[in-house]
Amino acid sequence: MDAEKGYSSQHRKELHLKGLPLLALAWQTLGIIYADIGTSPLYVLNGIWPSSGDVPSEEDVIGGVSAIIWSLTLLPLLKYVVFSLQFGTEEGEGGPFALFNGLFPKKQYDEDEERALTGDSGVRSSPSSYGPIMRSFKHPMLFWSLFGTALTMADGILTPAVSVTSAVGGIAVAKQSVSNDIIPISIAFLAALFLIQRFGTAKISFIFSPLTVIWLVLIGGSGISNITHYPGIWRAYDPSRAVLWFVRTGNYDYLAGVLLAVTGCEAMFANLGQFNRASIRLSFTSVTYPCLVLAYLGQGARLITDGENAIQNVFYNTIPGPVNGGLWWFTYCFAIFATLIASQTMITAMFSLVQQLINFHSFPPLRMLYTSDVVQGQIYIPTVNWTLGAATIILVGAFQNLTNMTNAYGFAVSTVMIVTSSLIAVQIPMVKRLPWILGVIFLLFFGFFDGLFWGASLRKIPLGAYVPLAIGVVLWSVMIFWTWAKGLEDQFDGVNRHNLRHFIVNAAHLPHGNAGGKDDKLGKSTAVNCTSTTATLIQGSHAEEVEPSTEDDVYSKDGGEGKPDALYLVSEDKTYVRELSRVPIMAVFHKLAGGKGVPHTFYAFLKQWPALPRVVVFLSIKVLPIGHLPVDEERYVITKVRSLKGFYGVTYQIGFREDFNVKVDEIVAGLCAVEARYAQDDEEGERVVREIRTAAETSITHIMPNYWVFSKKINAGFITPVIRYIRAFLIEGLYRQVAQTFPDSVLWRGHQEEIIRVGINAEI
């Protein structure tokens, strides 16, 4: 493989663009991630001063608008756009779980280790090795980050419900007769939105971006027009006005309404994987932020000059011109479009968050479809889309009241903001290697504002905020449960990964007196150390010698008298040996986890089958950080075990946009090229190639594990029966059933009759 390209050694990285490509990506962000925060002017001022209440005084309006402007400045602009985006993972992902993964990244396996069939499993050193104190906080921080992620997902259900219902509700201002039809109309719009998700982020943003830009220009332009009615509203830029407002009124609940102005800021961070930090910063600072500030200033100015009329629906009653006029209906139409796009913000964020959870084994594996050739993070998950759509429509139909929905809306956002601040504060010294004091300052400064908003939203729990809390707790429980149970299964898989030469040996490694009889007993005194050689790395027709490795083996090198080409199976306890009859077929064992050695599936297969295939391939999958693998690149990278005849490690390289489609004929061609190149003479090469082709023509079988998990019998003192019962219920009654429904082999698209699933009893 071309060393300059080096695709096989790369993992997914953050996307770096300049010039026109960066401008194009920034344009896409406008159509995906800003409509949530961009549609907040629809309901924020009425969230602070309800239409059923009294008209606020001039100073109160200036103070409220000041609180909104400085909240937008301190949180979305400063905390998220300036600081938080800097803490995405190396893969370019954002959100609470990405912050945890930055502290404790997933183990990365070397590509050569993936194909190594001998030796102990090894992983690269991880920056999470901070010492015992930091490691002791790993699980608490995992639970904390998962809680934030769960609430972000709960927010993803509420955002479409609140945004679309708010926009559609504006029609009651002009047409009172249709006010009872707001809920059905909202549901129809939402159904259409979820139906188009399969087209992907790039195509959707192509339609949505112009609409969002027009919407932002509309509210910004309306704000400029409204400011002329009362230029004194510019005093809201004085932060003391906000402080005096709270001191004068003593109404802490106002903060819950102000919080609605910054909903969507967490979505910017969670959507980082769909775009990149430069594109988000460019679009927010140049378009979104100034338009929002102008919109709120304009609404405040009109509320001061036209209070009695404006307060009934601040947004729609402050559109310049008459109600039912051309600009009013034009703005109304784009409000509908914008709120649909606002829903898109959290939908795409949900896809990114679920992808992170699946990749780190904290959520059941679901089928993911990549929708862009350039940005690997732009994905579509059908199961998530339809589940989210159903939950959103149910919420709209159940609440029926916009005020209750907005009460529910803010709680999830404020809680996630606290999670983000705390995890970034830890990342500052532990990942960025900056002084601890900077992390403390970050937490104290932004945590203070997060805490104020969280306290205000906490008071809304009896009024509707219990909904996202309940949804979040359910999702959180699922994540914790799957992380725990899947972790136990992964641990079992790692412990039971075998060094191939520890249980399959040739005649040269048989002990004295064992010529290959069936189930011959081995004396433990025959165990000695010896040196053996291993693989040659082959890349298509190109080969590269690999240094021999020295490993401990337990078999005498000179004591055996078996058949020269025969292979023998040695039991795990080293007490007997059995000759393995070779049958002229080809078997492909799929390695679902990374690391050296062969999976437990292979050993279980040999215990259940009396024969060994002539060609044994251990196949691992490598998803490359490019959309499609170039035609001049080798798709199958092959390692041959020289000390054992017929064993090969193969890495199947695939671009993230390509379908999983293993072509065995290409693997066979690669194996033949390897054997022909390294044969001692042409006659031997032709013979081995003929055997490989005969085996492939006779039968090709794909073999995958089918773990049948059951709970370990642990001792926990006097409560042992209770603990055992609960553990058995969770592992055998729950996890086993879900794991069978969502197997790790979800990417497999071959014919089911080609697959043999080897049953493995996994005690976890």
Q: What's the domain count of the chain? A: 2
Q: What is the pLDDT of residue 564?
A: 60
Closest C-alpha among 475, 477, 396 to residue 152: 475
Q: How far apart are CA 240 and CA 62, in angstroms?
A: 11
Distances (CA, A) of 233 to 11, 292, 311, 399, 607: 51, 15, 17, 35, 81
Whether residue 515 is predicted with pLDDT greater than 60 in this model: the reply is: no
Q: Is 25 left (phi over 0), alpha (psi -120 to 50) or beta?
A: alpha
Q: Within this chain, do residues 246 and 338 fall inside the same structural domain, yes or no?
A: yes
Strand (E) positions, 309-463?
369-370, 379-380
Q: Within this chain, do residues 427 and 519 fall inside the same structural domain, yes or no?
A: no
Domain end (from 441, 462, 491): 491
Q: What is the mean pLDDT of residues 349-376?
A: 80
Is 472 part of any domain? yes
Is 133 part of any domain? no
Cβ atoms 325, 444 nearer than 8 A: no
Confidence of residue 152 (pLDDT cuts 50, 70, 90): confident
In CATH, what number is assigned to the domain containing residue 487? 1.20.1740.10
pLDDT digits (tens, 9 = 90+) for 519-551: 444 333 222 222 232 333 333 333 333 333 433
Which of helix, strand or coil describes residue 425? helix
Q: Within this chain, do residues 470 and 533 fall inside the same structural domain, yes or no?
A: no
Provide the token pair at 59: 């100073």
Whether residue 336 is predicted with pLDDT greater than 90 in this model: the reply is: no
- Geometric angle at alpha carbon 731, from 726 and 733, rounded to 5°: 80
Is 135 part of any domain? no
Q: How far apart are CA 736 and CA 225, in angstroms?
A: 62
Provide the token pair at 113: 């280790």
Name the H helices within 459-544: 466-495
Q: Within this chain, do residues 481 and 570 fall inside the same structural domain, yes or no?
A: no
Q: Within this chain, do residues 365 and 486 fall inside the same structural domain, yes or no?
A: yes
pLDDT digits (tens, 9 = 90+) for 313-329: 899 899 998 877 889 88
Which of helix, strand or coil describes residue 398? helix
- What lies within 8 Å, CB to CB, of 165 at 6+ separation is 182, 183, 186, 396, 402, 405
Provide the token pair at 648: 């090969």
Strand (E) positions, 291-422?
369-370, 379-380
Q: What is the pLDDT of residue 173?
A: 58
Q: Within this chain, do residues 473 and 371 fall inside the same structural domain, yes or no?
A: yes
Q: How far apart are CA 151 and CA 137, in angstroms?
A: 21
Q: Could you please report the per-residue DSSP string of 527-584?
A: ---------EEEETTEEE----------S-SS---S-TT-EEEE-TTS-EEEEEEEEE
Cβ atoms 213, 309 nearer than 8 A: no
Residue 234 has φ and ψ, to the nearest 5°, of -65, -15
Q: Which residues of 445-478 are buried (b: 16+ CB within 10 A; e: fewer)?
A: ebbebbebbbebbeebeeebbebbbebbeebbeb
Comparing 396-410, 430-444, 537-551, the range with the smallest average pLDDT is 537-551
Is 10 part of any domain? no
Q: What is the pLDDT of residue 558?
A: 38
Provide the token pair at 346: 């959290």
Q: How far apart are CA 166 and CA 303, in angstroms?
A: 19
Q: What is the pLDDT of residue 340?
A: 75
Is 56 part of any domain? yes
Q: What is the pLDDT of residue 124?
A: 44
Q: Within this chain, do residues 84 and 222 fall inside the same structural domain, yes or no?
A: yes
Provide the token pair at 630: 């170039």
Q: How far apart are CA 207 and CA 217, in angstroms?
A: 17
Which segment, 331-345, 440-454, 716-730, is predicted with the most confidence on average?
Answer: 440-454
pLDDT digits (tens, 9 = 90+) for 37-49: 888 898 899 889 9
Residue 577 forms beta bridges with which residues?
Answer: 520, 570
pLDDT digits (tens, 9 = 90+) for 604-620: 888 778 788 999 999 88
Is 286 part of any domain? yes
Top-confidence residue, 559 or 691: 691
Top-confidence residue, 751 or 348: 348
Q: Within this chain, do residues 472 and 509 fall inside the same structural domain, yes or no?
A: no
Q: What is the mean pLDDT of residues 707-717?
A: 86
pLDDT digits (tens, 9 = 90+) for 225-241: 999 999 999 999 999 99
Is 18 part of any domain? no
How far from the centroid of its chain's Cα atoms is residue 406's Cα?
28
Domain end (from 443, 466, 491): 491
Provide the token pair at 573: 């306890």
Query: Range of 424's domain?
Result: 36-115+143-491
Q: Within this chain, do residues 107 and 213 fall inside the same structural domain, yes or no?
A: yes
Whether residue 65 is predicted with pLDDT greater than 90 in this model: the reply is: yes
Q: Within this chain, do residues 548 and 462 fall inside the same structural domain, yes or no?
A: no
Q: Within this chain, do residues 440 and 293 fall inside the same structural domain, yes or no?
A: yes
Is 536 part of any domain? yes
Q: Is 597 left (phi over 0), alpha (psi -120 to 50) or beta?
A: left
- What is the reported pTM? 0.77
Q: Within this chain, do residues 371 and 516 fall inside the same structural domain, yes or no?
A: no
Residue 570 has φ and ψ, to the nearest 5°, of -110, 135
The H or E element that residue 238 is part of is none
Domain end (from 439, 458, 491): 491
* Backbone Cα Rg of the chain: 31
Which of helix, strand or coil describes residue 212? helix
User: 326-359 and 96-103 helices cross at what angle (nearest 10)?
Assistant: 30
Whether residue 556 is predicted with pLDDT greater than 50 in this model: the reply is: no
Cβ atoms 497, 600 nearer than 8 A: yes
